Structure 1
Amino acid sequence: MVEQSQWMKQVEANPGHSQWYIERFRQLAAAGDDIVGEARLIDAMVGRSSRVLDAGCGPGRNAGYLHAVGHGVVGVDVDPALIEAAREDYPGPDYVVSDLAEMDLPAHGIAEPLDAILCAGNVMTFLAPSTRVEVLRRFASHLAEDGRAVIGFGAGRGYPFQEFFDDAAAAGLEPQLRLSTWDLRPFSEDSEFLVAVLGKRAG
């Protein structure tokens, strides 16, 4: 049994947290705000009908967009309430309730390998710290040889960027591109956000 994620610890401490998060994105969508910038980046990186995982998909905003533009999408989240909302608001993708540290898509009848993995919304910082390398290892194991994982999270959230890159290396992933935003602005040492494009290490 893996250590409980930071997200689920928050949910246990505040049972209304999941619903607050769901309603937040419903309100943003209703207001016409752009809530799928991360998904557009992934769409630009892969060909049509690609296999894409939205890791830590939450209530489905990115998975729903990627499905709508023609990709085969799997959304995985540890929180059953978020998966229920995703199925309601963005039907079409395959949704799976699972901790990312225990993710096994073939066990759910979902084909792999994956062309791309999207991990947005500070998901990496909501993992139990002891599971970070295992999550990255599972990303690598599900990726096609030329597939890419795109992972974004902010600074100051208890996971230094260099520690993340060290963990990625331990999991068999290496950086191909480092950005500071989802709209492709360059990364620098004082960037407050990281968007890392990772590929499987050759050999």
Structure 2
Amino acid sequence: MGRPTRWVTDTKPGHSQWYIDRFRRLAAEGADLAGEARLLDAIVAPASRILDAGCGTGRVGAALAARGHHVVGVDADPALVESARADHPDLTLLVGDLAELDLPSAGEPEPFDAVVVAGNVMTFVAPGTEEEVLRRIAAHVRPDGPVVVGFGADRGYRLEDFDQHASAVGLRREQRFATWDLRPWQEDADFAVTVLRRPV
């Protein structure tokens, strides 16, 4: 792996286990954890091949798989991937730094129909790697495939920079919403869900 991610440098010891426990508790309580998956499912064809970039505990990938999609999840945190494998043994889950993403070398040579980047992943990658992360992601999606990215607009990664980085790697911004359930975007929104697309 390359430079340490902000998930490592900007969180307290035990953060990964706290995160695992939190989402297991929410799932046990019956919380709705599938909002991101519903959005993706609505914009892709049935049985699509989807990359869950920064898959964390696997909740988004599991919800997509339950809807009939083939999902490959990647996360830099081995503890999160281990918990995701325990909770969702049918998913394909890999440990990897998104700034070095090379899935053909990991036995996944086929391009993806879509990519989802949920859970503030873009604000947790290593500083200065954001454009490279988007470049690597774009290289794994087929032409005309959507890349849907959601993160808090107040978490240190400016939307203007994100838009510039996405454009620089050939991803065209198609839509932006304030939530995963498609509430209208406003400039003062504290969260952004952006639908990018790799042009044909």
| TM above 0.5 | yes
1:4 corresponds to: 4
Give the secondary structure class of the aligned counterpart of 2:142. strand
* Contact 1:150 1:197 (8 Å CA) reproduced: yes
Question: Following TM superposition, by how much is the alpha carbon of 1:185 offset from its aligned partner in structure 2, in angstroms?
Answer: 0.9
Q: Which amino acid aligns with 1:131?
A: T
Conservation of the 8 A alpha-carbon contact between 2:144 and 2:199: no
Moved over 3 A (4+): none
Matches of 2:191 and 2:71, distance apart in 1: 26
Q: Which blocks of at least 5 consecutive residues in structure 1 are unaligned?
A: none
Deviation at 1:155, TM superposition (A): 1.6
Q: In the alignment, what sits opposite 1:40? A: 38
Q: Percent identity?
A: 56
Give the 3-state SS of the residue equivalent to 1:144 in structure 2.
Answer: coil
Matched, 1:73 2:71: yes
Aligned partner of 2:168 among 170, 173, 180: 170
Distance 1:167 1:2 in 2: 19
Residues 57-96 of structure 1 mapped to structure 2, 5 A cutoff: 57-96=55-94
State how 1:96-111 maps to structure 2 within 5 Å.
96-111=94-109
Instruction: Report the Cα offset of residue 10 of structure 1.
Output: 4.1
Equivalent in the alignment of 1:185: 183
Aligned residue pairs total: 200
CA distance in 2, matches of 1:49, 1:111: 17
Which of these residues, 18, 21, 37, is aligned with residue 19 of structure 2?
A: 21
Asked if 1 retains the 8 angstrom alpha-carbon contact of 2:34 and 2:60, the reply is: yes
**What is the aligned-residue RMSD (CA, Å)?**
1.2
Residues 115, 144 of structure 1: 8 Å contact kept = yes
Shift of 1:140: 0.9
Look up the equivalent residue of 1:9 and give its one-letter code. Answer: T
Q: Distance in 2 between matches of 1:112 and 1:194?
A: 29
Specify which structure has the higher proportion of strand: 1
Q: What is the CA–CA distance in structure 1 between the aligned matches of 2:42 and 2:157, rounded to whole Å?
A: 28
What is the alpha-carbon distance in structure 2 between the residues aligned to residue 181 and residue 60 of structure 1?
A: 20
- Distance in structure 2 (CA, Å) of the matches to 1:60 and 1:156: 25
SS in 1 for 2:143: strand
Matched, 1:125 2:123: yes
Task: Give secondary structure in 1 for the equivalent of 2:56.
Answer: coil
Q: Which amino acid aligns with 1:188?
A: Q
Tell me the alpha carbon deviations over residues 130-186 of structure 1, each in whole angstroms, 9 at most, x when there is no partner. 110000001111111010100000121111111110011111111011111000111
**One-letter amino acid of the structure 2 residue matched with residue 59 of structure 1:** T
* Aligned partner of residue 195 in structure 1, secondary structure: strand
Query: How far does residue 9 in structure 1 lie from its aligned partner after superposition?
Result: 1.9
CA contact (8 A) 1:2 1:131 kept: no
Select which of 47, 50, 70 maps to 1:49. 47
- Pair 64,74 (structure 1): closer, same or farther in 2 beyond 3 Å: same
- Structure 2 unaligned blocks of 5 or more: none
3-state DSSP of counterpart to 2:61 = helix
Alpha-carbon offset, residue 112 of structure 1: 2.1
Superposed displacement of residue 71, structure 1? 0.8
Give the counterpart letter for 2:64 in structure 1: L
- Between the aligned partners of 2:159 and 2:86, the Cα distance in structure 1 is 35
TM-score (norm. length: structure 2) = 0.96
Q: Offset at 1:2?
A: 2.7
